[in-house]
Amino acid sequence: MEENPSHLYLDLLVKILANTIYGDAPVDQWSGGHYDSEKRRLGHDWPGVAHTMIGLERLRHLRGLCERILDEQIPGDFIETGVWRGGACILMRAVLKAYGIEDRDVILADSFQGLPPPDPAHYPRDEGDQHHTFHQLAVSVEQVRENFRRYDLLDEKCIFLEGFFKDTLHRVADRTFALLRLDGDMYESTIQVLSTLYPRLSPLGFVVVDDYGNIEACRAAVHDYIDQNKLNVTIQPIDGCGVWWRKEGDKSSRAVHASPRRSRSEDQYAMYVLRSSLAQARQDLSSAQQRHGILVDELAGVRAQQQSISAALQASQQEKEQLQKASQQEREQLQKASQQEREQLQKDLQSERELSQQLRNEFSREVKSAEALLARYAALEQRTAALDARAQILDRTLRVVFVKRNDLHSRFKSLRDRFVEADVLHQFAEETYAVVNSMSRTAPVGEVVSMWRDALGLLGPGSEGGAVGNTLRSVLSPRTRGVRLGREVLSIAVSGLFSPRWYLERNPDVTKSDIPAIVHYLRHGGFEKRDPSPLFSSELYMQRYRDVREANVNPLVHYMLHGLAEQRKIAPSVDRRT
């Protein structure tokens, strides 16, 4: 069946605008540089060549809204705020031109230099928005005009509104619109367009928001405007990303705004409808004529068969007469025998009629039941829409709960680390007390106190205060098993064989680090055969005593904890600078 040329033109134009015919590679960062027909259908990539990124589903839906506006004669112009390469507006202008409509304009509002930086002081929802950093979103007005020109659609009905929305939308605030298409991504852009242009939208006019499903700030702007103005609208999805709704109004309100006299463009559109109906009627007539020819041929075949049957009947007529005479008696007998059978068949027929009536009644009840089910289905659809709205609210609430939960988890982890640190410090204090207590039995109290203060001085600058506490915390972390290490630090500190100043002068790399000299010697220097002072040679001590090397312990620690009691010998440092 032949299709209308205008429909074929618009169908092909939609595929060309999305470039699903050649399938150009995307330029975004998430598609891997490979064309994906499903992503292109849903508008989930940024094409490298195509003149729109909204995908086939939103393009077809946009065409349907434009045709519906023309069919219902909703007054006003078409406008898109945020046009990129102009593909959606090219489709709007093509629909008007295909149907011969010349009294409506297509307005393209865009900065033609990308999106503005966020203004969190006035629009907190946009804080952290990165759209202004994508150079792929900046398309010049000259390039968009050239794209229109390539489709032979650039004329005075295409109005370019160049600049950011806050500076330009007031220029068209006196117009009447039948269609608002918003593609500004950000909260600021979306709320500015709705605040300025929605009051100028005709009753029963349409609003399309492209990024409602993907960008939270855009969705928040839509709901804020609806709530602030107490609008009674139903937001409907398109493809999981874009949504649309219809402004409140009825046919009577539309009639008030409509022109009482049909314009030339409306007459042209009506003529197009009549021509489409006439073409359809001609197609139906052609099909009927074809079927008539087929029936004539079939009738001729039936007539030929009838003639052959008539000849066969004439040939068998004589045989029939003979058979009639021979069977007359048999018929009489059969009539008597079949009388009872006919009566039985009549009873069976009556039963079948009654059963048929019962089936009709049941079918009627089933029809009524189906109608009731349809009504329930419509009610379920309304409940589903309400549940979807509640699910969105719950989703936002859950996000806030997850943020609070993560914060509490971090605070709990910090408290747990502090408890572990306090426990280790407590163990170190008990061990230190045991060491000092054991020393006090063999040395005067004054000497023990003096040795303790000297030990604290070796751990770092300051006295028993904050600097020493910080050093102890670095030494006594859970990873170093603080009690044993505390005993070793104390044994070196009271030995009189460790000089921090002398150690740092001979080891400048330790000076550059944040590790105290005594801690460095305990953890690394003793094993690297570095000397703690001019009075003790780590290398000679380890060479002299094999058990110290095999035990892999710090030489000075071994000497203080074991070697001194065992009367082992030590040697002075062999450093020539000593």
Q: What is the pLDDT of residues 106-139, one digit of tens each?
A: 999 999 999 999 999 999 999 999 998 988 899 9
Contacts of 421 (CB under 8 A, 6+ apart): 473, 476, 477, 478
Residue 496 counted as domain residue: yes
pLDDT of res. 410:
81
| More confident: 512 or 456 | 512
**CATH number, domain containing residue 235:** 3.40.50.150
Q: What is the pLDDT of residues 531-570, one digit of tens each?
A: 999 999 999 999 999 999 998 899 999 999 899 999 998 9
Residue 301 counted as domain residue: no
pLDDT of res. 466:
40
What is the rounded distance in angstroms from the CA atom of residue 187 to the CA atom of residue 42?
A: 23
Structure tokens at 172: 């068209």
Query: pLDDT at residue 144 above 60?
Result: yes
Residue 245 counted as domain residue: yes
Residue 177 counted as domain residue: yes
Secondary structure of 425-476 in the HEC alphabet? HHHHHHHHHHHHHHHHCCCCHHHHHHHHHHHHHHHCCCCCCHHHHHHHHHHC
* Long-range contacts (CB closer than 8 Å, 24 or more residues apart) made by 432-439: 432/486, 432/487, 432/490, 435/487, 435/490, 435/491, 439/494
pLDDT of res. 309:
84
Q: What is the pLDDT of residues 7-34, one digit of tens each?
A: 999 999 999 999 999 999 998 888 788 8
**Mean predicted lDDT score pLDDT of the chain:** 82
Query: pLDDT at residue 473 above 60?
Result: no
pLDDT of res. 64:
95
Q: Say which DSSP state 258 is in.
A: S
Residue 334 counted as domain residue: no
Q: Which residue, of 213, 233, 261, is where some domain finishes? A: 261
Contact predicate 244/210, CB 8 Å: no
pTM of the model: 0.48
479 band by pLDDT with thresholds 50, 70 and 90: very low
pLDDT of res. 190:
97
Query: pLDDT at residue 205 above 70?
Result: yes
Residue 376 counted as domain residue: no
Q: Give percent of the chain with pLDDT exceeding 70.
A: 80
pLDDT of res. 415:
76
Residue 495 counted as domain residue: yes
Q: Which residue, of 234, 261, 288, is where some domain finishes? A: 261
The structural domain count of the chain equals 2
| More confident: 341 or 183 | 183
Residue 522 counted as domain residue: yes
What is the rounded distance in angstroms from the CA atom of residue 125 to the CA atom of residue 220?
A: 8
Q: What is the pLDDT of residues 266-277, one digit of tens each?
A: 454 555 555 555
Domain that holds residue 211: 52-261
Q: Which residue, of 209, 237, 261, is where some domain finishes? A: 261
